[in-house]
Amino acid sequence: MTLEQYKKLQEAGAHKALWLELLNASGFAGVLPNGKIVDRRYFPEATPVEKNSIFGTSKPKTNE
């Protein structure tokens, strides 16, 4: 997925729940200082979301 496709999907909001579920499962979920949830592959400055089985969040992966 390109950055442009990522931004269009995020802005559309039509698939927000699915997008968030897949992002959490991927291990690349992150939070920006303004509270926005993002993909850390595109926003490396975001703080990784910690593993949480209740919310289906995987162990954070590195961007390397």
The most distant pair of C-alpha atoms in the chain lies apart, rounded to whole Å, by: 31
| Stated pTM of the model | 0.69
- CA contacts within 13 A on the Cβ side of 1: 13
Q: Which residue has tokens 């910690």?
A: 50
For the chain, give every domain's residue range.
3-48
Q: How many C-beta neighbours within 10 Å does residue 39 have?
A: 19
Token digits of residue 10: 């995020």
Which stretches of 1-64 are DSSP H helices? 3-12, 16-26
- Span 50-60, pLDDT tens digits: 998 887 788 88
pLDDT in tens, 16-33: 777 788 888 889 999 999
